[in-house]
Each structure stands twice: as C-alpha cells, then as structure tokens.
Amino acid sequence: MNAILNTDFHLEGQRGKYTGKVRDVYDIDGKFLVMVVTDRISAFDVVLPEGIPYKGQVLNRIAARNLDATRDILPNWKLAVPDPAVTVGLRCEPFKVEMVVRGYLAGHAWREYRDGKRTLCGVALPDGLVENQRLPHPVITPTTKAAEGHDEDISREEIIAQGIVSAEDYAELERYTLALFERGTSLAAERGLILVDTKYEFGKRDGIIYLMDEIHTPDSSRYFYAEGYAERLARGEHQKQLSKEFVREWLMAGGFQGKEGQQVPPMTPEVVNRISDRYIELYEQLTGEPFDRIPSSPGQMEAHVSACLATL
C-alpha cells in the first residue's frame, strides 16, 4: 500500500479545509468536522518528507477506541468512523492550548530538567530526579497550540493572564485532564504498559466542553513496558518504549532535532517499512488485537465519508 499523503475532498456542505501536520480536516456546514488522519509523519514539529503506510489507520483506530472508552468522563466529538483513517464528528471551538500531562520524567521534560531547569510550565520539580523516574504525582505542563511550527511551553498563570482560557474553564480542563490520564493509566496497565505522558485537546460547543482530536495514541502519548521497568530504572538503562519516541531517536541519531539548518536523514524504503511495522506493532500491543491491513485510497475515503454525512 502506498502512503496517503494528501486528500482533496469535495463534500456536500463543505465550507473549507484545514491542512495540519498530519491531518486534513474538512468543515461541513459549520456543524461537523471530517478528520482524515493521513500517513504524513511529523517529529519535532516538522513534517518529514516520506509518509508511513497504515500509520493513519493505526492512529485513527486507536483514537476511536479510546474516545469510546472515556465517554463517561466527558462528552467527545466523535460521531462515526466511516473509513479506517477517517473520523466524522461535531465541530467545536477549540481551546488554544494543548493539555500535556506527565506521570514520569521523560522526553522533553527530562531534556529540560537535565539541562538545569527545575520549573516547567510553572510547575516546580524537585532536585535529584533521574530520567524516566515516576513523578510524585502527575503534573500538567500545557503548551500553546501552533497552527504551524513549534508549540511553546506555557504556564497555567500565563494562559489565564493572557485570556487564552478563562480561569473557570481552565479549572475544568485540569480536572478532565487528570481524570482522563487516570483512565488511560488503568487501560495501559491492562496491556502491561505504563502511560508515561500524553496530551489532550478540548473545545466548546453550546457552552459544553468536549474532548477533541486523538487520545492515547502512540503519536500523542508515550508508553513504557511495565515488565522490567524498575530494573532498567535502577540500572540507568533506557526504558523499552511503545511510542513515537523511536522516530525521534532515529532522527536525533542522524543529527536532526528540527532546528534551523538541520537535514532529515534519508528516509529509505527500508526505513519507511520499519517505521510502518513499528506502528502496527504499537496498535497490536495497545489493543490486544491483530491489525488488519485494509487497503484504502482518497477516492474510497471520500465515498465513505459522503455516505456517512448523508445520514447525519
């Protein structure tokens, strides 16, 4: 299967199309959104030059399962999945922040801590922590939501002071974020995994806060294998991860971290196939089910979406 990098739908009631780093999103009559999870792949907020076959299906199908598994915590935007890589849902007005929540010191947070920072997004961290150590309690480290380029760390106080989110709404976002993280942690534990960190996006519709976009996917979350975690931590070894971090590590090994002047290492067919296989492995480990490779195409997607919209 060739990677699906772009779509150009012409749907009944279509008002516009937004092209994100990895998603094509269509506005239908200002009421619904059609979100296509393409096979584009980004890292360090840069879209890489080659797509990854089946990546879109993996992410969309995992997100759909987890949206269903958290619907009792708060409403979410999902209405239907007419194609393995497409979700149709309610259009909400998004909050201009991403709610990042961390249970362990890893990734970006660890790199900041290693470089001497002890306050991240206004949250104080104690001295003496080591990479991948569990934090005393989950912490929320929000970022701005950039349409293009890099998201930026921001504190709760700055978000409220700048009027990005009201104090009342932000308190609700924090409550939902921690409840979702607790649910995600429990779901991960059932699969022998540790949910290390993740991010959530929220929006409002008719005055009600909704969970939007993806949830608990390997692109939005970092997972460790629980088995052997404590032993690897004690020995100062890297943890066995189930996340997109392996892509970031491959890029960093090739001298790329998204900074000006750096070049993405060559994405040979072997590299692309290896990444595709890893995404399928992620799906199977997270769900406990085999991944069915379902051939698709932009034309097939559009036909399925059109039929779905006719029923709404």
Question: Average pLDDT in the 119-138 region?
Answer: 96
Axis-axis angle for helices 269-287, 245-253 (nearest 10): 150
Q: Which helix (H) or strand (E) holds 307?
A: helix 298-309
Lowest mean per-residue pLDDT among 109-123, 147-161, 266-280: 147-161
pLDDT in tens, 215-226: 999 889 999 999
The C-alpha atoms of residue 104 and residue 272 are separated, in whole angstroms, by 30
Which pLDDT band holds residue 241 (cuts at 50, 70, 90)? confident
Which structure tokens are listed for 186?
A: 């429990």
pLDDT in tens, 252-283: 999 999 999 999 999 999 999 999 998 998 89
pLDDT in tens, 16-27: 999 999 999 999
Backbone dihedral angles phi then psi of residue 76, each to the nearest 5 degrees: -130, 170
- Rounded to 5°, the CA angle 149-154-157 comes to 150
Closest to 63 measured CA to CA, from 89, 92, 97, 95: 89
pTM of the full structure: 0.90
Do 167 and 122 touch, CB atoms closer than 8 A?
no
> How many residues comprise the chain?
312
Is residue 280 classed as helix, strand or coil in its secondary structure? Answer: helix
Q: What is the overall mean pLDDT for the chain?
A: 95
Domain ranges of the chain: 96-243
Q: Distance of alpha carbon 267 from its chain centroid, rounded?
A: 22
Which pLDDT band holds residue 15 (cuts at 50, 70, 90)? very high
Question: Average pLDDT in the 153-177 region?
Answer: 97
Question: Average pLDDT in the 73-92 region?
Answer: 98
Is residue 159 classed as helix, strand or coil in its secondary structure? Answer: helix
Task: Give the DSSP per-residue string, 163-204.
Answer: TSS-HHHHHHHHHHHHHHHHHHHHHHHHTTEEEEEEEEEEEE
Give the chain's count of helices (H) and strands (E): 8, 17
The C-alpha atoms of residue 4 and residue 290 are separated, in whole angstroms, by 22
The C-alpha atoms of residue 154 and residue 124 are separated, in whole angstroms, by 13
Q: Where are the alpha helices (DSSP H) in 34-166?
A: 55-69, 107-114, 156-161
pLDDT in tens, 156-166: 999 999 999 99
Residue 146 has pLDDT above 70, yes or no: no
Which residues partner with 99 through β-bridges?
Answer: 200
Closest to 81 measured CA to CA, from 248, 242, 305: 305
pLDDT in tens, 50-64: 999 999 999 999 999
Q: Which long-range contacts (CB under 8 A, 24 or more apart) does 235-244 make?
A: 236/130, 239/106, 239/132, 242/193, 242/218, 242/282, 242/285, 242/286, 243/196, 243/218, 243/282, 244/43, 244/218, 244/219
Closest to 210 measured CA to CA, from 60, 95, 52, 289: 95
CATH number, domain 96-243, options 2.60.40.10, 3.30.930.10, 3.30.470.20, 3.20.20.100: 3.30.470.20
pLDDT for res 148: 58
The C-alpha atoms of residue 107 and residue 109 are separated, in whole angstroms, by 6
pLDDT for res 226: 96
